[in-house]
Amino acid sequence: MRDPRAELAERIAGEVALSEEPGATLRKWREEFDVAQTRLAEELDVSSSVVSDYESGRRENPGIRVVSRVVEALLTVDERRGGDRVRQHARVLSAGFDSDVVHDLREYETTVPLRRFRRAIDAGSVVAGTTEVIAGHTVINSVEAIKRLSSEEFYRLYGQSTNRALVFTNVTRGESPLVALRVVTPTPSAVVLHGIALATTTLPLEELLETLREFP
């Protein structure tokens, strides 16, 4: 398997290069890494206004050299903080998923009470199940999963154990997670949610992922 750091750097650079709004894409990744404009500017040895100008489009589109420096700076800051973002990317890659389909996939060292997991992500219980502990979590973009994953790949969403929380993002009406739960071929004619715990959360995606990165 390729070096996750290099893989992530290539992905970010490619996304910026292909974007119709490269500045906005740079901002998205800076925010994904939770790096302030001032911190990024320090790493690049430029003023924060330069970073702001690139992100807002006030400066001409950044060239390959600028993009490479920004990507390297973000990865370096992440490494100094412990490398959480690169590790998260590596976990998803090792499971064979693109990180825009599966945002995070983790196995916990020990089981964790489900109520603690719900509290951590500010999730309200909708239907109480019999499960009291979980051994991991997977954060899934439900719409992208439906469009891009095969039935075989759906099995891998469970990681090492089905005793986990599946967190579906990009949900608007509820159909997408139900469809995304299909794990066999052919697709079943009906889906029944029975004997499982359901919860909802309205936390913004970035806050949700940040909380789960530090969990348990």
Would you kindly state where each structural domain of the chain is located, as residue ranges?
4-87, 97-213
* Angle, helices 4-18/64-80, rounded to nearest 10 degrees: 140
| CATH architecture entry for 4-87 | Orthogonal Bundle (1.10)
In whole angstroms, what is the distance from residue 143 CA to residue 136 CA? 22
Count CA within 13 A, CB hemisphere, residue 1.
13
Percent of the chain whose pLDDT exceeds 90: 17
Q: Is 140 helix (H, G, I), strand (E, B) or coil?
A: strand
- Range list of β-strands (E), 52-159: 102-113, 124-127, 133-141
The first and second tokens of residue 16, run together, are 């910026």
In whole angstroms, what is the distance from residue 36 CA to residue 30 CA? 7
Mean predicted lDDT score pLDDT of the chain: 79
| pLDDT tens figures, 5-38 | 888 888 889 888 888 888 888 888 888 788 999 9
pLDDT score of 126: 67
Lowest mean pLDDT across 110-119, 137-146, 183-192 = 183-192
The amino acid present at 160, given as its one-letter code, is Q
Average pLDDT, integer, range 132-157: 80
pLDDT exceeds cutoff 60 at 3: yes
pLDDT score of 89: 76
What pTM was computed for the model? 0.55
| pLDDT tens figures, 162-211 | 778 888 787 665 555 566 555 434 333 223 333 446 677 888 888 888 88
The residue assigned the tokens 């992530």 is: 8
> What's phi and psi for 106, nearest 5 deg?
-135, 145
Higher pLDDT, 74 or 191: 74
Is the distance from CB of 183 to CB of 151 less than 8 angstroms?
yes
pLDDT exceeds cutoff 60 at 1: no
Is the distance from CB of 151 to CB of 184 less than 8 angstroms?
yes
In whole angstroms, what is the distance from residue 23 CA to residue 27 CA? 6
In whole angstroms, what is the distance from residue 212 CA to residue 110 CA? 15
The amino acid present at 190, given as its one-letter code, is A
In whole angstroms, what is the distance from residue 67 CA to residue 73 CA? 10
pLDDT score of 199: 74
Name the region of 57 (left: φ>0; alpha: ψ -120 to 50; beta: rest).
left
If one counts every other C-beta atom within 10 angstroms of the C-beta of residue 136, the result is 19
The amino acid present at 196, given as its one-letter code, is I
